[in-house]
Amino acid sequence: MAGHGTGALPDLTKYDAVLFDLDGVLTPTAEVHMHAWRATFTALFAEWGIAPEYTDADYFASLDGKKRYDGVATLLRQRDVEVPWGSPDDAPEAPTVCGIGNRKNLLFARILREEGVEPYPGSLRLLDALREAGVPLAVVSSSKNAVEVLTAAKLLDRFTVIVDGVVAEREHLPSKPAPDVFLVAAERLGVTPARSAAIEDAISGVASAAAGAFGLVIGVDRGTGADALLEAGAHLVIDDLGELAP
111 and 132 belong to one structural domain: no
Q: Are 239 and 165 within one domain?
A: yes
Q: Looking at the structure, tell me whether residues 146 and 60 fall in a common domain.
A: no
Q: How many CB atoms lie within 10 A of CB 194?
A: 12
pLDDT per residue, tens digit, the chain (246 aa), is: 346 765 579 999 999 999 999 999 999 988 888 999 999 999 999 999 999 999 999 998 999 878 899 999 999 999 999 999 999 999 999 999 999 999 999 999 888 888 889 999 999 999 999 999 999 999 999 988 899 999 989 999 999 999 999 999 999 999 899 999 999 999 999 999 999 999 999 999 999 999 999 999 999 999 899 999 999 999 999 999 999 998
Give the domain-ending residue among 49, 83, 115: 115
Note whether 103 and 137 are same-domain residues: no
Which is nearest to 98 in space by CA: 69, 63, 65? 69
CATH of the domain at 141: 3.40.50.1000
Would you list the DSSP string of 64-129? Answer: TTS-HHHHHHHHHHHTT-------TT--TTSSSHHHHHHHHHHHHHHHHHHH-----HHHHHHHHH
What Cα–Cα distance (Å) separates residue 92 from each residue in 16, 69, 155, 230?
A: 42, 12, 30, 37
Residues 240 and 148 in one domain: yes
User: Residue 139: CB partners within 8 Å, gap ≥ 6?
Assistant: 19, 20, 21, 22, 26, 146, 150, 159, 161, 162, 163, 164, 185
Number of domains in the chain: 2
Rounded to 5 degrees, what angle do the CA atoms 211, 33, 144 make?
65
Q: Are 42 and 93 in the same domain?
A: yes
Residue numbers annotated as active site: 21, 23
Question: In this structure, are 105 and 210 located in the same domain?
Answer: no
Structural domain range at position 64: 31-115
Final residue belonging to a domain, choices 66, 83, 115? 115
171/209 same-domain check:
yes
In this structure, the answer to whether residues 84 and 22 fall within a common structural domain is no
| CATH number for 81 | 1.10.150.240
Query: 123 and 72 in one domain?
Result: no
C-alpha distance from residue 238 to each of 43, 68, 156 (Å): 35, 26, 24
Cα(83)–Cα(93) distance, integer angstroms:
13
The set of residues, in sequence order, having a beta carbon less than 8 Å from that of 239 and lying 6+ positions away, is: 1, 220, 221
